[in-house]
Amino acid sequence: MNAYMAYKVSTQTTLAMFRNKTFTVRRRFSDFLGLYEKLSEKHGPNGFIVPPPPEKSILGMTKVKVGKDDSSAADFVERRRGALERYLQRVVNHPSLLQDPDVREFLEREELPRAVSTQALSGAGFLKMINKATDAVSKMTIKMNESDVWFEEKLQEVESADQHFRKLHTLVESLVIHRKELSLNTASFAKSAAMLGSAEDNTALSRALSQLAEVEDKMEQLHQDQAANDTFSFAELIADFIRLLGAVRGSFDQRMKAWQRWQDAQAMLQKKRETEAKLLWANKPDKLQLAKEEIAEWEAKVTQYERDFERVSATVRKEVIRFELIKYWEAFLPEAKAIA
Amino acid sequence: LASPPRAVNVDLQTDATLQVDISDALSERDKVKFTVHTKSTLPNFKQNEFSVVRQHEEFIWLHDSFVENEDYAGYIIPPAPPRPDFDASREKLQKLGEGEGSMTKEEFTKMKQELEAEYLAIFKKTVAMHEVFLCRVAAHPVLRKDLNFHVFLEYNQDLSVRGKNKKEKLEDFFKNVVKSADGVLVAGVKDVDDFFEHEKTFLLEYHNRVKDASAKSDKMIRSHKSAADDINRIASSLYTLGTQDSTDLCKYESLLKLLTFLCFKIEARVAADEDLKLADLLKYYLRESQAAKDLLYRRSRALVDYENANKALDKARAKNRDVLQAETSQQLCCHKFEKISESAKQELIDFKTRRVAAFRKNLVELAELELKHAKGNLQLLQSCLGVLKGNT
């Protein structure tokens, strides 16, 4: 049984680069992951904050595939749809990413070739990847002589925000559990109150107690279930934001990598120069020629990598500023919609 | 501590001849000192108005003296107030103190305030429970004349009543085991009197259902409290986020915080109010219905004794031995049984009236409270919507 869920992606645009003004395509979850992979490979190293995709949830999806006919399966699909929409919005709102032909293809093309090797991108996997990279890079941090204080400050902010939101997420998850418990306990109490009402031999009081039980049962349960759902959505938004912060950290890490490449190239150049000096002294003309060529090669590399570093730094800076402005609204809109 | 509100569980008529209340209370390390204040026009007392200080053990002593008094076998003895229990609250405060280092000053102050409010609520409740007990005794036509009661109210020295030691507690335990075994035996005895037969069946079932409802309401309220605690922590976390001035990154939190804080904060208040009204009511009537059951048990016991005395008299007459003794014994049993039956009937009717009135009062108040909160909630959500719409 190879059933899968396809999501309808509809675009309305006035941009010239698209063939039509409105169009719709069907995409599966792995297509979204595939898009992320391509964008991350191409733009990540340049310091762009590539929006992370929603998490894979094996349990949730299995329920849907098995055709489990309760509200939890429908809820899951709806949540995933919302998360995928938020993801795409972030991608297309990014002026540079929008220009990427892969994005255009994703939105426009009728049939998309199946994305491969998207297994690695479960939610936990994604975070693990970021964490590994961060660990490797943090070892370099000690050596990096941060000339630009701005980056250091911003990274601090990101890390402290990350910590804070993780704590918040735990609290909200705890709330979800307690609300679900409350819903169950309220239902149980309502039944008990009904029993008490039927035992009461004063008819007026008996009726009143039965009515109390009924009211408790209907309203409270409805209210609590709804509240549990709302809280769950809130928890998801926070998780979403945490992933986004992870992507921001990722871009800082890319800048570090660029810096490291530059430093390594400088070190290599130094070694080549030392080799040249030794060869000069030993008087080996043919080897000397090779050495001179290598020096030229590495000098070019050093220049290139320095320029790369400058470019990546500038991109990261622009991206972070853009990020700060954007997340204001987008984090807000879902909550606003939910309330309305 | 300002004078606590009069007990809401019991519908009592205030009587000028004897009015009792707890005008003050002091919570010390491991005990609570209640100031029992009496106003009376009865000639038994030396003054018209006076106060003494009593502790929980002295209330228990008074209650037990009623239970052990054969003359009061025909009355529903007002249930003893539960022991003041601040252990849970104290533990929480201690944990908070230990965890002070791991949270911000704001979070700490807020949590401390919450716990202190909780402590205060428990304190008020225990005062109310003790007051209700005294008021019930004062309102009872026979019990209010009890000598021990007057000593309790008036004697301004320590009653030197110590809590039961281990041996006495063990004795009590065995007494209860015997009583429940006996109760099963006695319950089997069918009553000729329809009124009592009906009451027995009714009380048994009612008591069990109140027990169940009380347990379930406690569970429900505990979940509610947990959820409310979570919400408080979330709100203070968001508040901290919002007030960190350095980060541009988290400025939007101030708006989200407004949302969460306001909309969810209602939950905590509702939980506390529900607790007060519903759970306390159920718990109280759990104890009262048990006291009523105890009365029925005593009556059944007296009935069995009476029937046994009858049988003994018949046997004595048949053998023509110790007839006078058997006759006296039978007369005593008959008298005791009839006395208990008479007062028990009235007591049970009164119990019903009291119960219906108390439930009605509390359910009405609960409904009004829920309505008020729902309206408040609605208003807040609407104003939040207004803020959001204005911003986007």
Q: Summarize pLDDT for A59-72 with one digit per residue, the tens.
A: 555 555 555 555 66
Cβ–Cβ of B209/A204 closer than 8 Å? no
For residue range A276-289, what is the model confidence (pLDDT) as tens digits?
Answer: 888 888 877 778 88
Cross-chain CB nearest to B217 (options A181, A189, A329) = A189
Query: Are B149 and B140 within 8 A, CB to CB?
Result: no
Size of interface A-B (CB pairs under 8 A): 116
Q: Which tops the pLDDT comparison, B21 or A1?
A: B21
Q: Which of residues 186-245 of B touch A (CB under 8 A)?
A: 202, 205-206, 209-210, 212-213, 216-217, 219-220, 222-224, 226-227, 230-231, 233-234, 237-238, 240-241
The confidence score (pLDDT) of residue A64 equals 57
CA closest to B247 among chain A residues: A157
Per-residue pLDDT, averaged over B93-103, amounts to 77
**Chain B environment of A336 (Cβ under 8 Å):** 388, 392
Cβ–Cβ of A192/B209 closer than 8 Å? yes
CA–CA distance, A262 with A251 (Å, rounded to integer)? 17
B14-157 CATH fold:
PX Domain (3.30.1520)
A165, A173, A182, A206, best to mutate vs chain B, most B CBs in 10 Å: A182
B203, B234, B270, B378, best to mutate vs chain A, most A CBs in 10 Å: B234
What band does A198 get if pLDDT is binned at 50, 70 and 90?
confident
**Per the domain annotation, does A110 fall within a domain?**
yes
CATH 1.20.1270.60 range(s) for chain B read: 178-391
Residue A57 pLDDT more than 80?
Answer: no
CATH of the domain at A28: 3.30.1520.10
**Chain B environment of A333 (Cβ under 8 Å):** 392
Kindly state the percentage of chain B with pLDDT values over 90: 29
Q: In degrees, to the nearest 5, what angle opens at C-alpha A12 toward C-alphas A11 and A15? A: 105
For residue range B181-208, what is the model confidence (pLDDT) as tens digits?
Answer: 666 665 666 667 788 888 888 998 999 9
Q: What is the nearest CA distance from A170 to chain B, expressed in angstroms?
A: 10
Cβ–Cβ of B360/A208 closer than 8 Å? yes
For residue range B217-270, what is the model confidence (pLDDT) as tens digits?
Answer: 888 888 887 887 777 777 777 666 655 544 444 445 455 555 555 455 555 556
Phi-psi region of B320 (alpha: psi -120 to 50; beta: other; left: phi over 0): left
Q: In degrees, to the nearest 5, what angle opens at C-alpha B374 toward C-alphas B369 and B380? A: 125
Residue A110 domain boundaries: 1-121
CATH number attached to the domain at B178-391 = 1.20.1270.60
Q: What is the nearest CA distance from B107 to chain A, expressed in angstroms?
A: 13
**Averaged confidence pLDDT in chain B:** 80
State the helix-helix crossing angle for A58-65 and A71-93, rounded to 10 degrees: 120
The confidence score (pLDDT) of residue B242 equals 55
Cβ–Cβ of A200/B252 closer than 8 Å? no
- A100: number of Cβ within 10 Å: 17
Tell me, what's the ipTM? 0.76
Is pTM beyond 0.80? Reply is no
Q: Any bridge partners for residue A10, and if so which? A: A24
Q: Which tops the pLDDT comparison, A67 or B75?
A: B75
Cβ–Cβ of B238/A168 closer than 8 Å? yes
The confidence score (pLDDT) of residue B99 equals 75
The confidence score (pLDDT) of residue A153 equals 83
Cross-chain CB nearest to A335 (options B240, B259, B381) = B259
Reduce the DSSP state of residue B54 to 3 states and report it.
strand
**Per the domain annotation, does A68 fall within a domain?**
yes
Asked if B88 is an interface residue toward chain A (Cβ–Cβ < 8 A), one would say: no
CA closest to B245 among chain A residues: A157
**Per the domain annotation, does A112 fall within a domain?**
yes
Asked if B87 is an interface residue toward chain A (Cβ–Cβ < 8 A), one would say: no
The confidence score (pLDDT) of residue B66 equals 94
Tokens of B165: 């030691």
B209, B277, B355, best to mutate vs chain A, most A CBs in 10 Å: B209
CA closest to A177 among chain B residues: B227
**Chain B environment of A171 (Cβ under 8 Å):** 230, 233-234, 237
Cβ–Cβ of B249/A175 closer than 8 Å? no
Q: Is A34 exposed, middle or buried (0-12, 13-18, 19+ CB in 10 A)?
A: buried
Closest CA to B276 of B10, B9, B51: B9
Question: What phi and psi, each to the nearest 5 degrees, are found at residue A23?
Answer: -160, 155
Cβ–Cβ of A185/B219 closer than 8 Å? yes
Residue A142 pLDDT more than 50?
Answer: no
List CB contacts of B124: < 8 A, sequence separation 6 or more. B4, B5
Q: How many domains does chain A have?
A: 1
**Chain B environment of A324 (Cβ under 8 Å):** 248-249
Cβ–Cβ of A189/B220 closer than 8 Å? yes
Kindly state the percentage of chain A with pLDDT values over 70: 78
